[in-house]
Amino acid sequence: MSILADNISWRIGKKTVVDGVSLRAEPGKVLGLLGPNGSGKTSLLRILSGLRQPHEGSVRLDGTDMRTIGRRALAQRIAFVEQHANTTADLCVIDVVKLGRFPHRSPFAGWGAADEAAVNQAISRAGLEHKRHDRWQSLSGGERQRVHIARALAQTPTELLLDEPTNHLDIHHQISLLQLISSLSLTCIVSLHDLNHAAMFCDRLIVMNQGRIVASGSPEEVMTERLLRDVFAVDARVEASPHHSRPHVQFLPFQPGVASASPHRG
Ligand SMILES: Nc1ncnc2c1ncn2[C@@H]1O[C@H](COP(=O)(O)OP(=O)(O)OP(=O)(O)O)[C@@H](O)[C@H]1O
């Protein structure tokens, strides 16, 4: 067991954004978080990362209530790559990645061999060796995204949470990032919009709608034509891929003259 959320809810004003969510994320497995825009994925990830307290329910890390774990101890084990992460300071790639070591360093300890190894491995895994001395401001959106992922890996977390990490990446880097995530022996929770990538690389999937979990299970159990119609308001055919045997979704065009029902949001 690694992350266990029990019946958590979070509200803003009168709106319940996360509504009675329970989940379990396990070491060495990738849990995919799916759902239409505004269904509560980011809000849930912020709670699971400890950035936000749920109004109801609890999150446990290896059985310990997260509220009783100090900020530094939390930062030593959970890395969270947010969707619109930015860095305004005038830093180079290597400096941003080094920030990932911050939770592990004491004020009196110098930069050690473990720090150096973690940063180098993270830079290499994110495919950024040739960019390590480039300035942050000179990077493209996708390169910046990969630097944030490298910073999270340099943190050497046991839990890695990523909010739409493939957003700005070209297809090569999307696939290589998801392959990297699925090869790590960490507890990973990743929100994704690409349903085929989710089916290919996640061990289990959770689908959210209006703050609630409406489906969970293996990609085969979750990725059904009915769910795609009911939750995402798309007509699609789902078949086992002959190449990787996971479900593969083929989307059909909306019928002319038939208004597509957009997913219902609160
Ligand atoms: N701080 C906030 N103030 C007001 N509304 C908020 C706040 N945080 C979240 N919400 C609302 O809660 C809902 C869920 O937002 P959230 O960002 O968690 O959804 P999401 O599933 O990650 O969406 P997307 O796929 O578009 O990134 C949205 O309607 C959003 O506007």
The complex scores an ipTM of 0.97
Residue nearest to atom 25 of ligand 1 (CA): 37
CA 143 to chain centre: 17
Q: Is 37 in the pocket of ligand 1 (CB under 6 A)?
A: yes
Distance CA(169)–CA(166), nearest Å, equals 5
pLDDT band, residue 261 (cuts 50/70/90): low
Lowest-confidence pick of 78-82, 110-114, 184-188, 262-266: 262-266
Query: Which amino acid belongs to residue 158?
Result: T
Residue 128 has pLDDT above 50, yes or no: yes
Instruction: Express each pLDDT in 170-203 by its tens digit.
Output: 999 899 889 989 988 899 999 999 999 999 999 9
pLDDT band, residue 264 (cuts 50/70/90): low
Instruction: Express each pLDDT in 6-17 by its tens digit.
Output: 999 999 999 999
Q: Cβ(166)–Cβ(178) under 8 Å?
A: yes
Q: Please state, rounded to an integer, the average pLDDT across all residues of the chain.
A: 91
pLDDT band, residue 205 (cuts 50/70/90): very high
CA of 39 to the centre of ligand 1 (A): 7
- pLDDT (0 to 100) of residue 200: 96
Report the DSSP beta bridge partners of residue 205. Answer: 32, 217
Indicate the fold that domain 3-251 takes in CATH: Rossmann fold (3.40.50)
Q: Cβ(93)–Cβ(134) under 8 Å?
A: yes
pLDDT band, residue 265 (cuts 50/70/90): very low
Report the DSSP beta bridge partners of residue 16. Answer: 11
For the chain, which residues make up each domain, given as ranges?
A: 3-251
Q: How many residues does the chain have?
A: 266
- pLDDT (0 to 100) of residue 90: 81
pLDDT band, residue 140 (cuts 50/70/90): confident
- pLDDT (0 to 100) of residue 87: 67
Pocket-testing residue among 8, 39, 48, ligand 1, by greatest number of atoms within 8 A of Cβ: 39
- pLDDT (0 to 100) of residue 266: 41
pLDDT band, residue 257 (cuts 50/70/90): low
Using a pLDDT cut of 70, give the percent of the chain over it: 94
Instruction: Express each pLDDT in 226-255 by its tens digit.
Output: 999 999 999 999 999 999 989 999 999 887
Quick one: tokens of 82? 């947010």
Distance CA(239)–CA(245), nearest Å, equals 9
Helix (H) or strand (E) holding 221: helix 219-222
Quick one: tokens of 84? 């619109």
Q: Is 263 in the pocket of ligand 1 (CB under 6 A)?
A: no
CA of 94 to the centre of ligand 1 (A): 32
Residue 164 has pLDDT above 80, yes or no: yes
Residue 258 has pLDDT above 60, yes or no: no
Phi, then psi, of 133 in degrees rounded to 5? -105, 10
